[in-house]
């Protein structure tokens, strides 16, 4: 491809010269020329400016090509897309809070490195140090492994200050702090340390062979994390409740809230702990074990429709201080009925053959009556079980919520239960290899900060009606890398990968202007 002069003689004898962009190509084994564009007349004053822009652009690409072909050039590629997105959120949320909590800039950078590592490619602290070398544009170059460990210790010391600062600086996000959700989970440690935290207890990970560490998570009804509490793995639920209540009331300075938790944590001891500190609660009861709930279900009354899959009615009981609300999902009523009928049919066939081994487990156990002469179906229990179809009973000591509001609020409890799963996967909270309580607390706090950033980004995306896959968005960000070219003579260039459309939503939600595809750095 080249530029040639094309001359044309005019009728008055003058000659006009044009510049043309021409390429050579082979056609049937012979070289042929094709005019790609006529650039203009040489006597046109605008031609020089146009040619200047063309030459500048062409020279840029030609220069990059010469760098790539040079023996002295160096090429370096690093993670950039994820760093741009999470870096913006970190600066908006925790960078000033971490500073106010008393951490040095070096410690703050180390905490951010560990949080970013959790979000992008979680692993050990040694892996985080290797990850440091693969991130473009972040202040990690001088960090060493001891900086990460010391920052974990320091972060554990100021954990309450960080959460209080997060809550205070962004309180406008928490317009629904009148209702907070609380759930507990557990993770496990490798080894026997730290002795003050690691203890054998119930493992939700089905790792009863490992010592456990308990974790409680407090969230708003919109899914934004507020605080977390850490306790030994053998801590009873009432003690965990008291720690959560203390975190909400004292650490965050929230005095009037309602705590919501699922039926697995409802004991009279837990509820008494909440009543002692004057905290309202909204909980679900265990239908088959709670005598009051049994009485509530026996009351007739009209259900009021709240949504297509939700109906409610409130039952007033004499001499009972708490309010009880019956909720029913019409779709679940039919599903439960079909499931029960399938179980009964299976049991009937098994009993006909005389084989009852393995039947006395789960829901089937309720429907089988064993006697000295053998086993048979308990028709009375089967008929009685139908009254539970698609229903659950809520209990609250608060008079502000209507029955409909209480039902809708409780249905959102799945968000805090999802939080427990997210902390473990994909943020990989477990397993924990640290040997000191401070390091364990610091590690969990790093995971919690990463979880908060994920939830904020999801909230920003939802506000822009993002309907794509969050997993695909994250994967797309990880593929956006910075490529830095150095010609060996002091000139450096930076290029970036194309940003996938699904990942561009994150840039738009955070109002980040994507960097230029190609840019000279000096």
Indicate if 283 and 186 belong to the same structural domain. yes
The three-state secondary structure class of 315 is strand
The mean-pLDDT minimum among 246-250, 434-438, 473-477 falls in 246-250
Q: Residue 118 in contact with residue 450, Cβ under 8 Å? A: yes
336 has a pLDDT exceeding 80? yes
Any domain includes 522: no
- CATH code of the domain covering residue 420: 3.90.350.10
Tell me: do 365 and 230 sit in the same domain. no
Which of 46-55, 103-112, 233-242, 351-360 is most confident? 103-112
Spatial CA neighbour of 310 closest among 405, 178, 399, 401: 405
Averaged pLDDT, 25-53: 81
Determine the pLDDT at residue 133. 93
Say if strands 258-261 and 179-189 run parallel, antiparallel, or are unpaired. parallel
Following CA atoms 258, 320, 237, 203 in sequence, which dihedral angle do they give, to the nearest 10 degrees?
-100
Task: Judge whether residue 92 has pLDDT over 90.
Answer: yes
- Alpha-carbon distance 181 to 183, whole Å? 7
Of residues 425 and 21, more confidently modeled = 21
Residue 310 lies in a domain: no
Q: Is residue 24 part of a domain?
A: yes
Residues 215 and 342 reside in one and the same domain: no
Asked whether 221 and 179 are in contact (CB, 8 A), the reply is: yes
Is residue 104 within 8 A of residue 155, CB to CB? The reply is no
User: How many Cα neighbours within 13 Å face the side chain of 195?
Assistant: 0
What pairing do the DSSP bridges indicate for beta strands 2-9 and 30-41? unpaired
The residues, ordered by sequence, that sit 6+ positions from 264 with a Cβ below 8 Å of its Cβ are: none
- What is residue 513's predicted lDDT score, i.e. its pLDDT? 95
Domain contains 370 = yes
Mean pLDDT of 233-250: 72
Shared domain check, 335 and 270: no
**Whether 242 and 373 share a structural domain:** no
* Residues paired with residue 78 on neighbouring β-strands, in sequence order: 482
Least trusted range by pLDDT, from 114-123, 242-251, 285-294, 336-345: 242-251
279-299 residue pLDDT tens? 888 999 988 888 899 999 999
Q: Supply the pLDDT for residue 204.
A: 64
The answer to whether 134 and 478 have CB atoms below 8 angstroms apart is no
Of 12, 45, 69, the domain-final residue: 69
Residue 55 confidence (pLDDT): 65
| 238 compared with 216, residue with greater pLDDT | 216
β-strand 310-315 against 304-307: which pairing, if any? antiparallel
Encoded tokens for 301: 């009354």
| Local confidence band at 357 (pLDDT 50, 70, 90 cut-offs) | low
Whether 206 and 228 share a structural domain: yes
Distance CA 378, CA 376 (A): 6
Tell me the three state secondary structure of residue 275: helix
Distance from the Cα of residue 143 to its chain's centroid: 27
413 and 382 in a common domain? no
- 342/401 same-domain check: no
Domain boundary among 54, 69, 84: 69
pLDDT band per the 50, 70, 90 thresholds, residue 89? very high
Provide the pLDDT for residue 238: 63
* Residue 453 pLDDT grade (very low, low, confident, very high; cuts 50, 70, 90): very high
* Predicted pLDDT at 456: 93
The helix (run of H) or strand (run of E) holding residue 90 is helix 81-92
Average pLDDT over residues 181-204: 76
For residue 61, being part of any structural domain is answered with yes
Could you give the CA distance from residue 267 to residue 264 in angstroms, rounded to a whole number?
8
Output the pLDDT for position 178.
67
Q: E strand or H helix at 371, and its extent?
A: strand 368-371
Question: Is the pLDDT reported for residue 176 higher than 60?
Answer: no
Instruction: Give the model confidence (pLDDT) of 478-495 as tens digits.
Output: 999 999 988 777 788 899
**90 inside domain:** no
Whether the per-residue pLDDT at 208 is higher than 80: the answer is no
8 A C-beta contact, residue 97 and residue 453: no
Residues 258 and 193 in one domain: yes
pLDDT value of residue 433: 79
Domain ranges, residue 208: 174-303+395-436
Lowest mean pLDDT among 4-18, 63-77, 186-200, 301-315: 63-77
Confidence of residue 198 (pLDDT cuts 50, 70, 90): confident
Looking at the fold, whether 187 and 278 belong to one and the same domain comes out as: yes
**Is 244 part of any domain?**
yes
* Mean pLDDT computed over 330-338: 93
Residue 12, pLDDT score: 84
Indicate whether 273 and 360 sit together in one domain. no
Mean pLDDT value across residues 429-449: 87
How many distinct structural domains can be found in the chain?
A: 3
Taking the CA atoms of 401, 407, 411 and 413 in sequence, report the sign of the dihedral they define: positive
Q: What is the pLDDT of residue 256?
A: 65
> Residues 375, 413: one domain?
no
Q: 276 Cβ partners below 8 Å, 6+ apart?
A: none
pLDDT of residue 286: 87
pLDDT digits (tens, 9 = 90+) for 397-427: 998 889 999 999 888 887 777 776 777 667 7
pLDDT confidence band for 251 (50 / 70 / 90): confident
Asked if residue 223 is part of any domain, the answer here is: yes
- How is residue 313 written in tokens? 């009615």
**pLDDT at 60 > cutoff 80:** no
Asked if 123 contacts 117 with a C-beta cutoff of 8 angstroms, the reply is yes
CA-based nearest residue to 453, from 152, 111, 207 = 111
Q: What are the distances in angstroms from CA 41 to CA 13, 47, 58, 220, 344?
A: 17, 7, 21, 70, 92
Q: 67 and 40 in contact (C-beta within 8 Å)?
A: no
**pLDDT grade for 308, boundaries at 50, 70 and 90:** confident
- Among candidates 260, 263, 256, which has minimal Cα distance to 279? 256
Dihedral through CA 463, CA 464, CA 470, CA 475, nearest 10?
-130
Q: Is it the case that residue 33 has pLDDT exceeding 70?
A: yes
**Does residue 314 carry a pLDDT above 90?**
yes
| Whole-number pLDDT of residue 469 | 94
């Amino acid at each position: 491809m080249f530029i040639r002069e094309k001359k044309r003689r005019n009728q008055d004898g003058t000659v006009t010269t044009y510049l043309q962009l021409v390429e050579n190509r082979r056609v049937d084994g012979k070289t042929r020329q094709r005019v790609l564009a006529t650039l203009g007349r040489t006597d046109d004053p605008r031609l020089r400016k146009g040619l200047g822009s063309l030459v500048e652009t062409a020279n840029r690409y030609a220069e990059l090509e010469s760098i790539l072909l040079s023996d002295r050039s160096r090429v370096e590629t690093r993670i950039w897309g994820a760093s741009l997105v999470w870096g913006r959120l970190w600066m908006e949320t925790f960078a000033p809070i971490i500073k106010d909590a008393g951490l040095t800039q070096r410690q703050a950078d180390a905490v951010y490195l560990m949080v970013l590592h959790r979000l992008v490619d979680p692993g050990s602290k040694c892996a985080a140090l290797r990850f440091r070398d693969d991130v473009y544009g972040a202040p990690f170059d001088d960090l060493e492994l001891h900086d990460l460990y010391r920052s974990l210790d320091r972060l554990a010391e100021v954990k309450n200050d960080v959460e209080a600062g997060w809550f205070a600086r962004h309180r406008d996000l928490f317009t629904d702090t009148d209702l907070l959700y609380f759930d507990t989970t557990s993770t496990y440690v490798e080894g026997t340390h730290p002795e003050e935290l690691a203890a054998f207890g119930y493992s939700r990970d089905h790792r009863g062979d490992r010592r456990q560490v308990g974790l409680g998570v407090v969230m708003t009804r919109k899914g934004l994390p507020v605080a977390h509490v850490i306790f030994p793995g053998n801590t009873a639920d009432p003690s965990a409740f008291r720690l959560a209540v203390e975190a909400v009331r004292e650490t965050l300075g929230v005095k009037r809230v309602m705590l919501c938790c699922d039926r697995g944590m409802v004991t009279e001891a837990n509820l008494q702990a909440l009543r002692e500190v004057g905290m309202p609660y909204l909980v679900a009861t265990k239908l088959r074990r709670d005598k009051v709930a049994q009485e509530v279900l026996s009351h007739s009354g009209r259900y009021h429709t709240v949504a297509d899959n939700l109906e409610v009615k409130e039952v007033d009981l004499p001499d009972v201080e708490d309010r009880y609300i019956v909720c029913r999902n019409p779709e679940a009523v039919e599903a439960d009925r079909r499931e029960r009928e399938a179980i009964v049919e299976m049991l009937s066939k098994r009993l006909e053959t005389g084989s009852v081994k393995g039947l006395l487990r789960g829901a089937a156990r309720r429907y089988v009556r064993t006697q000295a002469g053998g086993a048979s179906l308990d028709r009375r229990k089967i008929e009685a079980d139908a009254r539970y179809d698609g229903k659950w009973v809520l209990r609250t000591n608060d008079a502000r919520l209507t029955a409909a509001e209480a039902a809708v609020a409780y249905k959102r409890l799945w968000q805090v239960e999802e939080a427990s799963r997210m902390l473990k996967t994909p943020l990989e909270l477990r397993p924990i290899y640290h040997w000191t309580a401070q390091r364990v607390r610091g590690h969990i706090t790093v995971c919690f900060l990463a979880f908060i950033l994920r939830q904020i980004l999801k909230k920003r995306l939802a506000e822009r009606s993002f309907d794509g896959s969050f997993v695909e968005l994250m994967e797309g960000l990880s593929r956006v890398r910075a490529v830095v070219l150095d010609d060996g003579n002091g000139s450096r260039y930076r290029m970036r990968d194309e940003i996938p459309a699904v990942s561009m939503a994150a840039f738009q939600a955070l109002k980040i202007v994507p960097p230029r595809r190609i840019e000279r750095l000096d």
